[in-house]
């Protein structure tokens, strides 16, 4: 090492002309001088380019003051420019001016001198190189390369010829790039990769804000990602992408840092590791770039949503109409009745709704609201009208509301609510246009936020219409890829129309004929199957490190989840049970348990329940069910008790039927007129959808085999599951004895996967159940497995 140091020192010595024992003042002076000298040279050189011919004759007569030169720096300029440019290096001589100024700057600012040496060294090389190169064109313009350039060029050409000289110059150029600028093929490659990444990131940031939201989560996830996942992720890419993949692996970048402080020119190589690129993120970027975001609708990309024309317009004559006389009469009636109870009114205001008119009363000061509340029944009697509901006080206002039904109710058509901008522009996951409020506003709710709905009402009060209204709302907003219905209809008539859209929108158990479930035992299987689906979805969400279905699907769309690992786009699943009472009476706990389980847990994974019943008695709507269904709809019921069961308060018994309803999502009661959609309208919509290209089959729910059909541990070889061998191979390959692995890889239900694991245990392939840990795999590899199975 010391030898090397000495050597380099020697080579550099001639360049180091500045005496650094100078004091600071000297340096400033010399620095300023050199800066200005450099500038003077520059000016002189530029001027020389224009005036050299004119000044040619004046050269060599420096002493003769009478001879004038055109150079901007006169005689000095002409002489020195001639020396450096014409007789020297040609155009490249400009580097002398630059280097002189630069030296001045270094001295002036008292900077480290090491870089300066390098500037001079490389500056002179560049100068000679350029002048030699320009020497090729000396016959065209002698100034280009100067005499030195011309001479060097001719000298080289004499020995190497034209091609040889050119090749030598190219070699020197490469030497410069490599040694001076540290440009190597890897650096160039790295640069392009980085630019590409930057562009795609920019693109990504613009197109998907959600992705940026998830970025930090994504980062954590990628860090925690197992090696196995990475391998499978990579395996997914085609062979052509493979080469690209290799280059995206974390890569060591060598940066040569030359320690300027060091005596001599000892270069130190510092290995820095470039920021680990996020494998999956990167892969997903590339996939998105190549194929675009995953589009769940692609398979039915030509699907057309039903048009609004399919719905009937019931209010051809315009909006809501009410008789002025009826309004006056009702007002007088209210005022007089209250007067009888010594309640004076300060103000009264009417809001006309589709079915009822709300009279808002401000009582005179000093009248207690509780008094009015207590007189509710008497007032209703005195007004002798059906369906009066008193709201005392109206939440959020200091007024009392009296709702009086209109003599002639206006139908709120489904068409009007579907066409409303509130519904059309609803930024909701599962928007439902329920109907109109008392002030005639379209009422739109998000089923995903509810997250489950309990619906009750005596027969003939509008329940079925209500269900159709909900289903129609979703058909108008959601593509078949985004939502699937599981319909349970013990009455066998209400929902049959939806059979036509089975292969578009319905989900069913494998190996069942009918998608709409009318048989109670099938309901139990379906509910349990939904529980399996729920568990599976939770596994997927956990694996994807997301909290809910929306985030999951966003991530899947952005191709950040690998389908090879069982990931898929998850449609919302909406379970609709018409006539729940019937079901719970016949099946009891067997139905209640999975329903309660789903209601408790399914919100995050996109399974929502809508349960309707005629009899809202406590043995139908049990505490457990009620607790998990915060959103309720009550149509007219026959008794206050029923109203309490469904709404936790009275009121529903005073409704007027025909779609008049109360809606609550846990706090306030909202009176709504349900939108009316008639069977022929539903038929038109389902016909329209049904006539379009469909999926090959209804959406498959996971298989559920009831517990009773399960067998003990000492399973007969002949009774083994048909997928036993496949399962064994998966378990042995992965060396991980877990049922969820089988669920994912073989797309099985939990129970079946569990049974196969039991069979594997009986066969001695996996060890015993060890609580939360995965079972031990007792067979080391596939060859051993083959032997093991042959020896049985
Ligand atoms: N929103 C509504 N607007 C106007 N009329 C309605 C509305 N909802 C229901 N009706 C009227 O009430 C009738 C009964 O409605 P629906 O069939 O929905 O009752 P239901 O509660 O389902 O009865 P059941 O429980 O016996 O099936 C309808 O045929 C219709 O005439």
Taking the CA of residue 660 as reference, the ligand 1 atom at the shortest distance is 1
Please tell me the residue having the least CA distance from ligand 1 atom 31. 658
The distance from CA 221 to its chain's CA centroid, rounded to whole angstroms, is: 14
* 603 Cβ neighbours under 8 A, 6+ residues apart: 448, 451, 452
d(CA 777, ligand 1 centre) in Å: 60
d(CA 462, ligand 1 centre) in Å: 3
Query: DSSP string of 637-674?
Result: -SSHHHHHHHHSSS-GGG--STTEEEEESSS-EEEEEE
Split at pLDDT 50, 70, 90, the class of 438 is confident
Share of residues in the chain with pLDDT > 90 (%): 21
d(CA 602, ligand 1 centre) in Å: 30
d(CA 495, ligand 1 centre) in Å: 14
| Predicted pLDDT at 79 | 84
Taking the CA of residue 614 as reference, the ligand 1 atom at the shortest distance is 25
| Predicted pLDDT at 233 | 39
Please tell me the residue having the least CA distance from ligand 1 atom 23. 460
* Token pair belonging to 714: 């000492």
| Predicted pLDDT at 209 | 44
Tokens 């019937």, residue?
A: 582
Q: What is the mean pLDDT of residues 472-499?
A: 89
Please tell me the residue having the least CA distance from ligand 1 atom 11. 658
CA distance 58 to 27: 36
| Predicted pLDDT at 711 | 43
Split at pLDDT 50, 70, 90, the class of 282 is low
Please choose from 459, 465, 646, 656 the residue to mutate so as to test ligand 1's pocket, defined by most ligand atoms within 8 A of CB. 465
Please choose from 435, 458, 462 the residue to mutate so as to test ligand 1's pocket, defined by most ligand atoms within 8 A of CB. 462
d(CA 353, ligand 1 centre) in Å: 19
Residue 500 above 60 pLDDT? yes
Cis peptide before 451 (omega within 30 of 0): yes
| Predicted pLDDT at 267 | 62
Please tell me the residue having the least CA distance from ligand 1 atom 6. 658
d(CA 682, ligand 1 centre) in Å: 14
Split at pLDDT 50, 70, 90, the class of 270 is low
Residue 220 above 80 pLDDT? no
CA distance 431 to 225: 36
What is the phi/psi pair of residue 669, to 5°?
-95, 135
For 117-161, the pLDDT digits (tens) are 888 888 888 888 988 888 888 777 777 888 888 888 888 888 888
CA distance 731 to 161: 72
Taking the CA of residue 466 as reference, the ligand 1 atom at the shortest distance is 18
* Closest C-alpha among 351, 400, 403, 394 to residue 371: 400
Please tell me the residue having the least CA distance from ligand 1 atom 16. 462
Please choose from 311, 314, 656, 658 the residue to mutate so as to test ligand 1's pocket, defined by most ligand atoms within 8 A of CB. 658
With a Cβ cut-off of 6 Å, ligand 1 is lined by: 411, 457, 459-465, 614, 658-659, 674, 676
For 657-666, the pLDDT digits (tens) are 899 999 999 8
Q: How many CA within 13 A on the CB side of residue 632?
A: 29
* Closest C-alpha among 752, 710, 756, 703 to residue 731: 756
Taking phi over 0 as left and psi of -120 to 50 as alpha, with beta for the rest, 455 belongs to: beta
| Predicted pLDDT at 707 | 56
CB 30 within 8 A of CB 22: yes
CA distance 250 to 277: 6
Residue 228 above 80 pLDDT? no
d(CA 674, ligand 1 centre) in Å: 10
Length of the chain (residues): 792
| Predicted pLDDT at 280 | 52
Most confident of 58-62, 548-552, 717-721: 548-552
Please choose from 461, 497, 578, 678 the residue to mutate so as to test ligand 1's pocket, defined by most ligand atoms within 8 A of CB. 461
For 18-74, the pLDDT digits (tens) are 444 667 788 889 899 999 999 999 988 888 888 877 777 777 777 777 777 788 888
Please tell me the residue having the least CA distance from ligand 1 atom 5. 658
Query: Computed over its alpha carbons, how large is the radius of gyration of the chain?
Result: 43
CA distance 362 to 341: 15
d(CA 504, ligand 1 centre) in Å: 27
d(CA 355, ligand 1 centre) in Å: 14
For 368-409, the pLDDT digits (tens) are 777 777 777 777 777 766 667 888 777 777 788 888 888 887
* Token pair belonging to 279: 């494998």
d(CA 635, ligand 1 centre) in Å: 10
CA distance 168 to 136: 13
| Predicted pLDDT at 436 | 92
Domains belonging to the chain, first-starting first, are: 2-180 (no CATH), 185-292 (no CATH), 324-405 (3.30.980.40), 414-700 (3.40.50.300), 707-790 (1.10.10.10)
**C-beta neighbour count of 638 within 10 angstroms:** 16
| Predicted pLDDT at 2 | 42
d(CA 467, ligand 1 centre) in Å: 10
Please choose from 659, 662, 675 the residue to mutate so as to test ligand 1's pocket, defined by most ligand atoms within 8 A of CB. 659
Annotated binding site: 457-464
d(CA 466, ligand 1 centre) in Å: 8
Calculate the alpha carbon distances from 727 to 76, 744, 768 in Å: 94, 11, 17
| Predicted pLDDT at 257 | 43
Taking the CA of residue 457 as reference, the ligand 1 atom at the shortest distance is 21
Please tell me the residue having the least CA distance from ligand 1 atom 24. 459
Split at pLDDT 50, 70, 90, the class of 573 is very high
Taking the CA of residue 468 as reference, the ligand 1 atom at the shortest distance is 18
Please tell me the residue having the least CA distance from ligand 1 atom 1. 659
Please choose from 312, 443, 464 the residue to mutate so as to test ligand 1's pocket, defined by most ligand atoms within 8 A of CB. 464
Most confident of 284-298, 320-334, 453-467: 453-467
Compute the mean pLDDT over every residue in the chain, rounded to the nearest whole number. Answer: 80
Please work out, in degrees rounded to the nearest 5, the angle formed at the alpha carbon of residue 752 by the alpha carbons of 750 and 754: 65
Would the pTM of this model clear 0.90, i.e. be above it?
Answer: no
Please tell me the residue having the least CA distance from ligand 1 atom 15. 462
Does ipTM exceed 0.90? yes
d(CA 718, ligand 1 centre) in Å: 55
Please tell me the residue having the least CA distance from ligand 1 atom 12. 658
For 253-262, the pLDDT digits (tens) are 444 444 444 4
* Token pair belonging to 392: 């005392």
The residue among 670 and 623 whose pLDDT is bigger is 670
Q: In what order do the strands lie in the sheet with 345-352?
A: 345-352, 356-363, 400-405, 389-391
Annotated binding site for ATP: 457-464
């Amino acid at each position: 090492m010391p030898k090397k140091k000495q050597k380099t020192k020697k080579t550099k010595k001639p360049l180091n002309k500045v005496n650094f024992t100078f004091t600071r003042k000297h340096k400033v002076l010399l620095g300023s001088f050199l800066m200005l000298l450099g500038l003077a040279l520059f000016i002189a050189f530029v001027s020389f380019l224009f005036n050299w011919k004119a000044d040619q004759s004046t050269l060599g007569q420096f002493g003769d003051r009478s001879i004038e030169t055109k150079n901007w720096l006169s005689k000095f300029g002409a002489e020195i420019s001639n020396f450096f440019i014409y007789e020297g290096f040609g155009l490249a001589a400009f580097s002398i001016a630059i280097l002189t100024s630069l030296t001045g700057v270094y001295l002036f600012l008292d900077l480290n001198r090491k870089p300066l040496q390098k500037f001079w060294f490389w500056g002179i090389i560049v100068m000679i190189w350029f002048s030699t190169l320009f020497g090729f064109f000396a016959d065209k313009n002698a100034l280009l390369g100067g005499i030195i350039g011309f001479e060097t060029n001719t000298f080289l050409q004499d020995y190497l010829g034209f091609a040889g000289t050119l090749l030598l110059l190219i070699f020197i150029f490469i030497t410069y790039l490599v040694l001076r600028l540290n440009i190597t093929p890897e650096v160039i490659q790295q640069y392009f990769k980085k630019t590409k990444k930057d562009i795609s990131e920019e693109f990504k940031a613009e197109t998907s804000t959600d992705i940026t939201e998830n970025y930090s989560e994504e980062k954590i996830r990628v860090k925690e990602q197992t090696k196995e996942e990475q391998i499978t992720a990579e395996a997914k890419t085609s062979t052509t992408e493979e080469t690209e993949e290799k280059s995206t692996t974390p890569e060591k970048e060598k940066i040569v840092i030359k320690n300027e402080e060091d005596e001599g020119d000892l270069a130190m190589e510092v290995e820095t590791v470039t920021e680990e690129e996020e494998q999956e993120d990167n892969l997903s970027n590339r996939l998105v770039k190549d194929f675009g975001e995953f589009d769940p609708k692609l398979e039915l990309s030509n699907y057309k949503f039903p048009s609004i024309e399919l719905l009937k317009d019931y209010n051809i004559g315009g909006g809501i109409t009410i008789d002025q006389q009826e309004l006056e009469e009702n007002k007088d009636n209210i005022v007089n009745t209250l007067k009888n109870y010594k309640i004076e009114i300060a103000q009264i205001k009417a809001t006309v709704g589709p079915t009822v008119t709300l009279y808002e009363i401000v009582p005179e000061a000093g009248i207690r609201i509780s008094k009015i509340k207590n007189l509710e029944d008497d007032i209703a009697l005195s007004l002798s009208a059906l369906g009066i509901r008193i709201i005392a006080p109206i939440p959020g206002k200091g007024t009392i509301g009296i709702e009086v039904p209109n003599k002639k109710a206006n139908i709120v058509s489904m068409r009007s609510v579907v066409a409303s901008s509130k519904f059309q522009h609803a930024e909701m996951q599962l928007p439902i246009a329920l109907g109109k409020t008392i002030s005639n506003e379209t009422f739109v709710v998000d089923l995903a936020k509810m997250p489950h709905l309990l619906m009750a009402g005596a027969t003939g009060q509008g329940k079925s219409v209500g269900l159709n209204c909900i289903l129609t709302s979703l058909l108008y907003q959601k593509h078949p890829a985004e939502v699937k219905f599981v319909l349970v209809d013990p009455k066998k008539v209400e929902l049959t129309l939806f059979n036509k859209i089975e292969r578009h929108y319905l989900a069913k158990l494998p190996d069942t004929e009918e998608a709409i479930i009318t048989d109670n035992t099938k309901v139990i299987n379906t509910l349990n199957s939904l529980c399996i689906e729920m568990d599976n979805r939770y596994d997927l969400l956990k694996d994807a490190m997301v909290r809910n279905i929306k985030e999951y699907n966003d991530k899947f769309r952005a191709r950040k989840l690998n389908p090879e690992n069982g990931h898929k786009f998850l449609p919302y699943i909406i379970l609709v049970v018409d006539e729940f009472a019937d079901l719970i009476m016949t099946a009891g706990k067997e139905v209640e348990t999975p329903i309660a389980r789903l209601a408790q847990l399914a919100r995050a994974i996109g399974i929502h329940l809508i349960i309707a019943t005629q009899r809202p008695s406590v043995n139908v709507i049990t505490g457990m069910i009620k607790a998990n269904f915060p959103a309720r709809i009550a149509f007219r019921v026959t008794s206050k008790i029923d109203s309490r069961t469904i709404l936790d308060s009275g009121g529903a018994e005073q409704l007027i039927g025909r779609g008049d309803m109360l809606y609550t999502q846990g706090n306030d009661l909202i009176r709504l007129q349900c939108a009316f959609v008639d069977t022929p309208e539903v038929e038109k919509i389902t016909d329209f959808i049904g006539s379009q290209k469909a999926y090959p089959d209804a959406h498959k729910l996971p298989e559920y085999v009831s517990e009773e059909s399960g067998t003990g541990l000492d399973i007969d070889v002949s009774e083994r599951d048909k997928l036993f061998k496949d399962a064994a191979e998966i378990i042995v390959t992965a060396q991980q004895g877990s049922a969820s692995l089988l669920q994912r890889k073989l797309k099985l239900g939990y129970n079946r996967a569990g049974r196969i694991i039991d069979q594997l245990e009986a066969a001695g392939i996996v060890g015993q159940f060890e609580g939360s840990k995965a079972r031990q795999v007792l067979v080391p590899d596939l060859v051993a497995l083959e032997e093991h199975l042959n020896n049985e």
